[in-house]
Amino acid sequence: MSDTDFPGWHGTTIIGVRKGGRVVVAGDGQVSLGQTVIKGTARKVRRLSPGGYDVVCGFAGSTADAFTLLERLETKLEATPGQLQRACVELAKDWRTDKYLSKLEAMLIVTDGTDLLVVTGAGDVLEPEHDVAAIGSGGNYALAAARAMMDTDKDAETVAREAMAIAADICVYTNGKLTVETIGG
C-alpha cells in the first residue's frame, strides 16, 4: 500500500468557547482509520500546569505529533510563566522552522482562561473572533453552531457541549463522548 493509498487518521472536533469570564475547551473521543472507528474514548483535551500556571489544550491531528507539541508548549510555558501568547508564538516559530517539528501534523487550541488561541504548523497563533475557536474534521460545524448560540443566555459549557453535539450529528469522524475542561471565572 503506497502513502497515497493509505486512508489516514481522521477525526476530531475540538472547540474553545470564552463566555462569562470562563473558557471551556471540549473535544470528542473518536479516533478513526479510514472508515473504521479505532477508539471512541480518546482524551484530546488536556490540562497542563507548568510551574503552577494552568493551561488547557485541545488537539486535532496526529496524536503522537500533538503530544510532541504539548511537551514543547509546556517547556515554552515554563520559560515564560504567565505569558501564554508569547509561549505559543515561540512554539509556532519553532514548529515552522525546525526541520523535525515542521513535519508534525496537528493543530492546537490553547487557553489560560484569559487568552484563547489557535496554534498551527504554518506559524500561526490566532485569537479567534467572536470568542469561539474550533479545529478538526467537525470544527466548522461546531464553530457555526457555537457562534449561533453566543448571544443567548447559555453559559460557555452549555454552548460548547451543544455545539459538539451538533458537530457529532453531522461529522462522521466526531462522536459525542466528550472531554471537557473549564478554566477561569
pLDDT in single tens digits along all 185 residues of the chain: 344 444 444 578 999 999 999 999 999 999 888 888 999 999 999 999 887 789 999 999 888 888 888 999 999 999 998 999 999 999 999 888 877 777 778 899 999 999 999 998 888 999 999 999 999 999 999 999 999 999 999 999 999 999 999 999 999 999 999 999 999 87
pLDDT at 9: 45
pLDDT of residue 10: 53
What is the pLDDT, as a whole number, of residue 105? 83
Rounded CA-CA distance 108/160 in Å is 16
Asked whether the whole model's pTM tops 0.85, one would answer: yes
Predicted pLDDT of residue 120: 87
Cell of 171: 461529522
Query: Hey, what amino acid is at 58?
Result: G
- Active site (annotated) includes residue 114: no
The 8-class DSSP code of residue 129 comes to G
Listing DSSP states for 138-166 in one string gives THHHHHHHHHHHTTSS--HHHHHHHHHHH
CA atoms within 13 A on the CB side of 166: 18
Name the maximum alpha-carbon separation found in the chain: 52
**Which of 4, 12, 111, 114 is flagged as catalytic?**
12
Residues 6+ away with beta carbon under 8 Å from 41: 29, 177
Class of 9-173 per CATH?
alpha beta
Strands 13-19 and 9-10: unpaired
Give residue 175's pLDDT. 95
Are 77 and 116 in contact by the 8 Å Cβ rule? The answer is no
